Amino acid sequence: MLVLVAPGQGAQTPGFLTPWLDLPGVEDRLREWSAAIDLDLVHYGTKADADEIRDTAVAQPLLVAASLVSSRQLFATAEDFTARVGATAGHSVGELAAAALSGTLSEAAAMSLVRKRGLAMAEAAAVTETGMAALLGGDEAAILPHLEKLGLTPANMNGAGQIVAAGTAEQIAALVDDKPEGTRRVVPLKVAGAFHTHHMAPAVSTLESATAELSVADPHTRYVSNKDGQVVTSGQDLVRRLVGQVANPVRWDLCMETFKELGVTGLIEVSPGGTLVGLAKRALPGVQTLALKTPDDLDAARALIAEVTSAAEAGADTAAPAE
């Protein structure tokens, strides 16, 4: 079974969209979305520096746009996607890309919503200087009480020995100086706020209003939620989860457990891929993975899709052997 995943904030790098513009129709689509949401995606994806694309209001639409245009190169239609992909999920803002890929939101609606999400979260982040830091290695039983002692929130439970803490700048600095026993490293992240914590509560009401008039459909492909790793079958429930998730922890560890339970054999992370594939390699041994970074990776991605699809079809046509 193939799982398609979309990355979250922090995956963007300067110029990462440049090679995608050489593909037919990509620049036109990006310019169409840019006009609709009043943000020049082409400029920010090709010419802007690291500080400019670190801005939450820029980074989030940029990431969702990249995930959508890159996935379009792999699947011609929604029917093709459903036939080949067993489940989809996104990390944090990547959930909006997954919501569009699963058919719950149109691409235009996902882009409009992510623009509002980015602006609302940037506004919430501006109230207090906050940030996030990844803890690499260590035991969850030791890490969580240590974070609580420092007043930090475990905002991303990523699995594979990685927890991301979030809080004020002072709390993050204290964590860097006083890491939990057994943790190898504490790495401050290039994000502009304490996402998925109470600091983002003001953004929740903004998104509730923004989603009130959305046209929503039930997903045509299994959608695995960051809230609890559960498969969501209702479009309305999916959108409610998207709204609430802004101020609640991302449980990517539980998402990967669900992938395992569903029988994942292949996992592709759409552009700008890399982070989630790294986690999958440690948490899902034996699963074939591919990070779609540039168009140069498309042939390998298509080959993996064909291999997993062929294996699934062969398995469906073959009776279980006698013991």
Q: Virtual CA dihedral for 298, 278, 97, 43, nearest 10 degrees?
A: -70
Catalytic residue among 70, 71, 102, 196: 196
Q: What is the DSSP string of 221-283?
A: SEEE-TTTS-EE--HHHHHHHHHHHTTS-B-HHHHHHHHHHHT--EEEEPSS-SHHHHHHHHH
CA distances from 69 to 21, 24, 26, 257, 270 (A): 10, 11, 7, 28, 9
Instruction: Assign 88 to helix, strand or coil.
Output: strand
**Helices of type H across 23-127:** 26-37, 41-46, 50-54, 56-72, 78-84, 94-101, 107-125
Catalytic option among 71, 92, 112, 271:
92
70 is catalytic: no
- Is 199 assigned a catalytic role? no
Q: Active-site residues: which are they?
A: 92, 196
